[in-house]
Structure 1
Amino acid sequence: MERGMNSRASSGLSFEVFLSFRGPDTRHGFTDCLYHGMVAAGILAFRDDESLRVGERIGGELLQAIEKSKIYIPIFSTNYASSHWCLRELAHMVECASKSNGSKEILPIFFDVEPIDVKLKTDLYRQNLSQIRKKFRTEVKSWEKALIDVSKRKGWNLKKDEGQGNLIQSVIEAVLAKLNVRYKNVTEHLVGVDDRVEAIIKMLDPESDSVHFLAIHGMGGVGKTTLAKVIFNRLSSQFQGSNFLSDVRESSERHGLVYLQKQLLSKFLDSRSVNQIHDTDGGINMIKRVLCGKKVLIVLDDMDEEKQLKSLAANGNWFGSGSRIIVTTRDKSVLKIDVESTGEGPVKSVNISTYEVQEMEFHHALKLFSRHAFRSDSPPDDYVSLSEKVVSTLGKLPLALEVTGSSLSSKSKEFWVDTLKKLEKAPSKEVQKTLMITYERLDDAQRQVFLDIACFFVNEDKTYPFYMWDDCECFPNNTIEVLCLMSLIKIKDGNTFWMHDQVRDLGRAIVREENFKDPCERSGVWNHREAPSILKQKEGSRKIEAPSLGSRGDILTHDEVANLRNPRFLEANGVFLVGDFNNLISNLRWFSWRWCPHEFMATNFHPTNLVVLDLSHSYVSEKWIGWNQIRVATKLKVLDLSNCEYLRRIPDLSTLVSLERLILEDCRNLIEIDPSVGKLKLLTTLNLKGCDSLQELPEEIGCLQTLTEIVLPNMLHELPRTFGNLQSLLTLDVSYRPINKLPYSIGGLVKLRRLNLSGCTKIGELPESFGELQSLVELDLSLTSLGHLPNSIGNLKQLKILRMTCISRITKLPSAIGLMEKLEELDASRCYNLTGDIWEIVLFEDPRLIIHIYI
């Protein structure tokens, strides 16, 4: 709940600050900024609401709000004294302050008037009072006295200050000092943080006695520190002591860990005691001794190494019960807390959690940008379109929005347009500097993978690139985990690379800045428009190792490829290859040649180190002469032939002995799989989905003992007799295929976990070997023509789910079903001919077993 209040729900609360102001003068400007600044600082502020002004007297919630507040801030504006309500509030504030024995205080702000005006020494307020004197004759005298009284008090005069922002900060700091609250400065333009702050505070559970560690993580510039400051300001008064340790990463690099330990303890000890620390072990011992009995709130901002945490807050037993330790970081892996007892003092309950800061919602981003660019919550009508384009380009990153918005303030439209063009190519220098901190922590392999993703693989499936990076010794499993932990990338929808637009643009800017003027001198080219001119140059393009070239119908010649420096990645979709390519692509690992033409006009192609070949949507057939060149790629691991509609038969692939993935999805005219597929001893994935003309598989399929995944065509009539030899197969889905029986060898699928036979209306029985599927966890027999289940089904000791809905021929279940020790769900609904007492059939020895039965 927001701590500032201006609604009827406020009546039961005590307030720290009451703001009195003339609405038309300052409500939507200065007062609004001051109010939200106080809320962000954790101050319980009351902002007057016209709906509370009922009748001619102060009463109800408004009266209570004044009487329960500790500090009164009247904001004297030009028309303040023309409002009898403002004057009534002021008089009541003076009365409450005078009776409080010093516990209440008035801090006036002279917004666009001078103290001499409020003292009634000029015509400004005297004229205001004369206009209302006739109607409020009995009260004016007390109002005049209140004005003169408050005009003598020390406050702030906006005309003498540098600006509203500085004045607001000064007011907030003074209020916090009087309330004895520690405070961290935050931007006056807070937008879209309330929900995030509430979510984090809920995670922290301030009322709990456990010691709670929380990592606020996310990419650079996303607003982690701002959130931590707001939370610190909100919660610090609830703790015996608190400290916000800023810029831990930078301080560690410049001054070392001992300096950080001293900074941490400086809020709890005098300088003499702190200076007794001479090494990290001494610092750790001092932290334990001083803080183990205190309920503290500590923020460790911008931490990037585990050793920093180990020196400052490695164990929950270092701190008193109810303590909260907040870490902001780009790398959430640094939050490695020892939850075990150290043997020192009583063991405390320790909780560890993480909160990822996401990019802003668009309407919040536009509001934040507008506040910096226009000093308002929304852009002027003639700047709406431009503003929305800038915000979209910036990827809703707070740092980028603030920096760019400020730089565009009061600038011409021409300047805006030029800035937008620059932003479309690269982030601003200040944003780049922030994001580069993370990039510079990567090793060479991690940088290579990061740049590849930024240039070529955003929103692409991660499966194929892994093979390339693995062959280039970039250790992709470890590298991708590091990039995710450091908030540079995410894996979305299970398998797709995602990267924030500003991070993507940073990666491309890094490649671009290898040579800003000459694309030929860069390692990667992702812009198709730049590619043709680069390839035609005789010098300079030898640095390029990852080009994305051309478009359908273009010609790529021997001479043009010769200008490249042994590319490891080549994207040439729809391009004709022409000429002698002898030794030109020996380093190539990835070749995307989608829409490959039927004519193959290259000689000595020989991609001997190729690991990924994408020929999807191509015009190749089994007679394509390019197969002779492809067969030499003995290291090839991925061959994608999906949507190759001219392909009727798979050519001999027996030389591709390293192949692991063969994708033939939607090859609608494919009628035959060449028996040579049985030679692919390392094949793990065979995708035949959508191969509607393929009705049978060769017996040699049974030789693929490493196959873990097979997606079968819709019109498959039978499984080969050798199918049970696929000992590594994990999932088999033959649902709604015209298969009339399963081969007896099916029991050989010893690792099979899921089997779906639903909709196979021609299957009338299961082989007795069915009970040998010892790893089966889920089985769906719905809509089959089964008349009975074999007794061997009781041997399926791992089975948890058995679905057999709508089987009209089945009349009873075998008693062996009672032997399925792990069965959790049995769905026999709409088996209308099923007879017998199912409860007598399903007899389990373990009475603790819960089974859901649907009949």
Structure 2
Amino acid sequence: MGNEDCFGLPLTLWLRHGSQGVLIRSVFHTVLVELKVLYEKVTKDLVGVEDRVEAIIQELDLKSDKVRFLGIHGIGGVGKTTLAKVVFNRLLSSFHGCCFLADVGESSRRNGVVHLQKQLLSKLLGSRSVSQILGENDAINMMERGVLRNKKFLIVLDNVDEKKQLRNLAEKGDWFGSGSRIIITIRDQSLLKIEEEATEFSTYEVREMKFDHALKLFSRHAFRSDFPPSHRVSWSETIVHILGMLPLALEVTGSSLNGKSQKIWGDTLKKLQIAPPKEVQDTLMITYEMLDTEQRHVFLDIACFFVNMDKTYPLYMWDDCEYYPHNAIEVLFLMSFVKVKDDNTFWMHDQVRDLGRGIVRREDTEHPYKRSRVWKHEEAIRILKRKEGSSTMKALSLGHHEDKLTRDEFDNYPDLRFFQGDGVFLVGDFNNLLPSLRWLSWQNCPCKSEEFVANFPWTELLVLDLSCSDITDEWVGWSQIKAASKLKALDLSKCKYLTRMPDLSTLESLERLNLEGCHNLIEIDPSIGKLQCLTALNLNGCQSLQELPEVIGCLKALTEIVMPDTPDKFRLPETFGNLKSLLTLDVSHRQISKLPYSIGGLDELRRLSLYQCTKIKELPESVGKLKSLVELDLSWTSIFHLPDSIGNLKQLKVLRMSHISGMTKLPSVIGKVEKLEELDASNCWNLIGEVPEEIGSLSYLRILNLSDTRISGLPNSIGSLKQLKVLRISHMRGITRLPKAIGLAEKLEELDARGCRNLTGEIPEEIGKLSYLRILDLSDTRISGLPTTVSGLSNLQTLNLELCLELEKLPELPRNLTCLRGATNRHGICAGEYHCSSH
């Protein structure tokens, strides 16, 4: 280390002082001064950050010697920078050097990237090291040569908004020493691409606060206390909900209301219901301005109309408009503006939604008809009734409205592509009107109108939603809809008077047909066989439908079908096996008694669920021909055995067969399902004997659940399951011992043997080899003790020994153990001495 020692103190300092105590105090003071300079200033009014900070530190994995990058992402104002500062302050003393570069994006534009490079290197190496840096390549060359490679650094790059900034400051992990951590706060996840084998990379999303934390933060700024006074509770809670639990918005609004009168509070509340605080808008606008024209159109459409709506229908419209919607949604997701939930619907933070709507309002603050989008019923009906058509209008939505609308109201809307009119009467001749209309949402469409619309632009429609309408088989509109040759999606869900699906043979482009909730539908028209583009058919809730037509097998493009839940028996036709593109077949809870043999022809089927099909007693041998099957759920069926052909399912990863009372044994052929990752045979109460040795061939198996069965033992081949992470054998009354080979299942993290009341003696010593084991549950067993090797389980966190009445002694327990339950014998006293430094 030359003439320097730890903390960078010169050796002369060690020689200058006459006593060790003075020296220690001097070193301690020097370190404190150094750390104080490095600390990032954080507000005192932090609320609800501790769990997030711990989660971020866990993601950083400080035990790893590899260089690790962590991207903290989320919308503007959600608290990314604050969290990064808290983490930085907490960890900086554990690194050889630290640097927090604030607001990298803005600083790069204002001062240039070279300024940031000098700032980074001077903080890590000292100011003299950057004197030769004249251009950005000079700094990159220095880092490429390894000037930072010999020490462990903590670096935060705050608010990065261009790839160039990352390239110039932290492009490669091998620029930094082992154990270094680089934290990046960012809005656009697409910038986070670090591809190196020696580098670890992960992300952490900062989401909105919990409501109680948000109310507390707001109260600290508005009232200088943790809770609002009684006369302001209701208003405070309303404001917090409107602000969407966004920290920046809570702080700004709370501070602005501190000490203000009731009138000011009332005015603020009204204003917030229209638009978010300016400071929040300005922050979010930075992200919006990064979007291109097409991405802005998609964003504004979602903000104004499609939050909590399935994404499928809008995609058709945007694709026709050449907005490149898949790319746009990906960009919006990466910038934390939009998410697609598990149910395929759009989610958007309230503040982001209000930002979008505010942008549209500002297109013309005085005249709504001059805006591109109108979503409020009052404004929309006023525009139509006043005949204020505008060429700028692209989307118009009415609430429920049963008045008549004629061609006069729709004159001069050349670019209107989306119209939502719930319950409206469209009457008159619409010839040469609405040439750009692509999506008509006409829920509660009136059935008995004698003046039905004529010459409507059906031919250009892509999406037609007639859900919840009283239309019947004789509805006058069917003949006109036949002209919709470009139609991609037709929604007839909850049309309760519909008894027969109409002839739709002319809709040659139709991809999605929704008949969900048509309770009185008894027949599917044979014309469905001509819909060669149909990919999705929803028959859920069609309680009167007892069979599908044979022509269903002609739908070569069908990838998704939701079956009717009829109270009586339902039959699948033999032609069902001709659906070569079908990806998912879910007949859960249905009264189906058997699968057709032809099911083996479903070449692309990925998922088959027979969950709670209690009438099914056997699977056809042809099920083994499902070469693409990944998931098979047989739970709660009446199946007695698995066919031998099950071993041919070479792509199967998940097999669920719980709660099958008729199943008596696991077939040895199960060992041939070579890619199986999860096997659940729990609660098969009549499953007896030992698990077949062949199970050891399942080299990919991660989860094995045999709980609540009568299985009497585990095979020695259990040690061959090198990927096994979870083994659940609770309440297996027949098992008397754990095989020694269990110690060879080296990746095991959870072993649940609770309630195995015939499990006696000591656990085998080999259990000490399970270095990944986190949870060990031996409660309600008759074990007498644990082996001494258990002390070597360095990752063990939870040990449950409740109701282990035969327990005689405990060895030294692992240091990382955080939860010990039980550990008492039949007399209720501690079973011997045990030692654990954390207790």
TM-score (norm 1): 0.73
Q: 2:135 corresponds to which letter in structure 1? A: D
- Deviation by residue 1:14-41 (Cα, 9 ceiling, x = unmatched): xxxxxxxxxxxxxxxxxxxxxxxxxxxx
Mean alpha-carbon deviation: is it higher for 321-330 or for 654-663? 321-330
- Cα distance in 2, alignment partners of residues 312 and 782 from structure 1: 54
Note if contact 2:674-2:699 (Cα within 8 Å) is conserved in structure 1: no
> Is 1:197 aligned to 2:46, yes or no?
no
Mean alpha-carbon deviation: is it higher for 658-667 or for 291-300? 291-300
- Cα distance in 2, alignment partners of residues 615 and 737 from structure 1: 27
> Is 1:555 aligned to 2:409, yes or no?
no
CA shift for structure 1 position 422: 1.0
Structure 1 counterpart of 2:90: 234
- Deviation by residue 1:192-228 (Cα, 9 ceiling, x = unmatched): 3233223323333446533222212111111211222
CA shift for structure 1 position 590: 1.7
Note if contact 1:182-1:237 (Cα within 8 Å) is conserved in structure 2: no
> Is 1:432 aligned to 2:286, yes or no?
no
- Cα distance in 2, alignment partners of residues 813 and 360 from structure 1: 48
Structure 2 counterpart of 1:597: 446
- Deviation by residue 1:661-692 (Cα, 9 ceiling, x = unmatched): 11111101101111110111111111111111
Q: Tell me, which stretches of 5 or more residues in structure 2 are unaligned? A: 1-19, 711-839
After superposition, residues 336-347 of structure 1 pair within 5 angstroms as 336-340=193-197
> Is 1:222 aligned to 2:78, yes or no?
yes
> Aligned pair in 2 of structure 1 residues 413, 838: CA closer, same or farther (>3 Å)?
closer
Structure 2 counterpart of 1:76: none
> Is 1:261 aligned to 2:110, yes or no?
no
> Aligned pair in 2 of structure 1 residues 213, 596: CA closer, same or farther (>3 Å)?
same
After superposition, residues 407-422 of structure 1 pair within 5 angstroms as 407-422=256-271
Structure 1 counterpart of 2:217: 368
Structure 1 counterpart of 2:459: 608
> Aligned pair in 2 of structure 1 residues 793, 491: CA closer, same or farther (>3 Å)?
closer
From 442, 463, 468, the counterpart of 2:312: 463
After superposition, residues 716-755 of structure 1 pair within 5 angstroms as 717-735=570-588, 737-755=590-608
- Cα distance in 2, alignment partners of residues 207 and 785 from structure 1: 50
From 580, 585, 589, the counterpart of 2:429: 580
Structure 1 counterpart of 2:563: 712
After superposition, residues 23-42 of structure 1 pair within 5 angstroms as none
- Cα distance in 2, alignment partners of residues 530 and 319 from structure 1: 59
Mean alpha-carbon deviation: is it higher for 430-439 or for 290-299? 290-299
- Cα distance in 1, alignment partners of residues 444 and 700 from structure 2: 56
SS of the residue corresponding to residue 352 of structure 1 reads strand
Note if contact 2:682-2:705 (Cα within 8 Å) is conserved in structure 1: no
- Deviation by residue 1:727-758 (Cα, 9 ceiling, x = unmatched): 11122233554445443432221222333446
Structure 2 counterpart of 1:532: 381
- Deviation by residue 1:288-346 (Cα, 9 ceiling, x = unmatched): 44322232222111101122101100111111223221111111222222424xxxxxx
SS of the residue corresponding to residue 372 of structure 1 reads helix
Structure 1 counterpart of 2:160: 303
SS of the residue corresponding to residue 114 of structure 2 reads helix
After superposition, residues 45-124 of structure 1 pair within 5 angstroms as none
Note if contact 1:821-1:844 (Cα within 8 Å) is conserved in structure 2: no
> Aligned pair in 2 of structure 1 residues 575, 242: CA closer, same or farther (>3 Å)?
same
Identify the structure with bigger relative contact order (alpha carbons < 8 Å, sequence gap 6+).
Answer: 1
- Cα distance in 2, alignment partners of residues 430 and 604 from structure 1: 50
CA shift for structure 1 position 278: 2.9
Note if contact 1:805-1:830 (Cα within 8 Å) is conserved in structure 2: yes
SS of the residue corresponding to residue 383 of structure 2 reads helix
SS of the residue corresponding to residue 90 of structure 2 reads helix
After superposition, residues 208-357 of structure 1 pair within 5 angstroms as 208-268=64-124, 273-288=129-144, 289-340=146-197, 349-357=198-206
Structure 2 counterpart of 1:50: none
Structure 2 counterpart of 1:187: 43
Q: 2:155 corresponds to which letter in structure 1? A: I
Q: 1:481 corresponds to which letter in structure 2? A: E
Question: Which one has the largest radius of gyration?
Answer: 1
CA shift for structure 1 position 630: 1.7
SS of the residue corresponding to residue 354 of structure 1 reads strand
- Cα distance in 2, alignment partners of residues 271 and 819 from structure 1: 65
Cα root mean square deviation, aligned: 3.3
SS of the residue corresponding to residue 447 of structure 1 reads helix
After superposition, residues 648-659 of structure 1 pair within 5 angstroms as 648-659=499-510
> Aligned pair in 2 of structure 1 residues 103, 416: CA closer, same or farther (>3 Å)?
farther
Note if contact 2:370-2:390 (Cα within 8 Å) is conserved in structure 1: yes
> Aligned pair in 2 of structure 1 residues 578, 226: CA closer, same or farther (>3 Å)?
same
Note if contact 1:702-1:725 (Cα within 8 Å) is conserved in structure 2: yes
> Aligned pair in 2 of structure 1 residues 356, 788: CA closer, same or farther (>3 Å)?
closer
Note if contact 2:639-2:660 (Cα within 8 Å) is conserved in structure 1: no
- Cα distance in 1, alignment partners of residues 222 and 671 from structure 2: 72
- Deviation by residue 1:612-635 (Cα, 9 ceiling, x = unmatched): 211111111121111222222222
Note if contact 2:121-2:129 (Cα within 8 Å) is conserved in structure 1: no
- Deviation by residue 1:502-540 (Cα, 9 ceiling, x = unmatched): 111100000000001111110001111211111123445
After superposition, residues 669-688 of structure 1 pair within 5 angstroms as 669-688=520-539
Q: 1:364 corresponds to which letter in structure 2? A: H
SS of the residue corresponding to residue 254 of structure 1 reads helix
Mean alpha-carbon deviation: is it higher for 228-237 or for 601-610? 228-237
- Cα distance in 1, alignment partners of residues 643 and 73 from structure 2: 55
Structure 1 counterpart of 2:335: 486
> Aligned pair in 2 of structure 1 residues 713, 194: CA closer, same or farther (>3 Å)?
closer
- Deviation by residue 1:402-439 (Cα, 9 ceiling, x = unmatched): 22222222322111211111111111222111110000
> Is 1:509 aligned to 2:509, yes or no?
no
Q: 2:180 corresponds to which letter in structure 1? A: S
- Cα distance in 2, alignment partners of residues 656 and 176 from structure 1: 76
After superposition, residues 384-399 of structure 1 pair within 5 angstroms as 384-399=233-248
Structure 2 counterpart of 1:646: 497
SS of the residue corresponding to residue 264 of structure 1 reads helix
SS of the residue corresponding to residue 530 of structure 1 reads helix
SS of the residue corresponding to residue 299 of structure 1 reads strand
> Aligned pair in 2 of structure 1 residues 610, 295: CA closer, same or farther (>3 Å)?
same
Q: 1:394 corresponds to which letter in structure 2? A: L
> Aligned pair in 2 of structure 1 residues 804, 256: CA closer, same or farther (>3 Å)?
closer
- Cα distance in 1, alignment partners of residues 700 and 302 from structure 2: 49
SS of the residue corresponding to residue 159 of structure 2 reads strand
CA shift for structure 1 position 827: 4.2
Identity of aligned residues (%): 63
Note if contact 1:252-1:308 (Cα within 8 Å) is conserved in structure 2: yes
- Cα distance in 2, alignment partners of residues 795 and 386 from structure 1: 64
Q: 1:373 corresponds to which letter in structure 2? A: A
- Cα distance in 2, alignment partners of residues 456 and 702 from structure 1: 37
After superposition, residues 611-626 of structure 1 pair within 5 angstroms as 611-626=462-477
> Aligned pair in 2 of structure 1 residues 102, 491: CA closer, same or farther (>3 Å)?
same
Note if contact 1:615-1:642 (Cα within 8 Å) is conserved in structure 2: yes
Q: Tell me, which stretches of 5 or more residues in structure 1 are unaligned? A: 1-98, 106-172, 341-348
Mean alpha-carbon deviation: is it higher for 661-670 or for 178-187? 178-187
From 530, 536, 542, the counterpart of 1:691: 542
- Cα distance in 1, alignment partners of residues 590 and 400 from structure 2: 39
Mean alpha-carbon deviation: is it higher for 673-682 or for 622-631? 622-631
> Aligned pair in 2 of structure 1 residues 625, 310: CA closer, same or farther (>3 Å)?
same
TM-score (norm 2): 0.74
SS of the residue corresponding to residue 331 of structure 2 reads helix
Q: 1:309 corresponds to which letter in structure 2? A: L
Note if contact 1:552-1:595 (Cα within 8 Å) is conserved in structure 2: no
- Deviation by residue 1:542-569 (Cα, 9 ceiling, x = unmatched): 3211111142413222111114343111
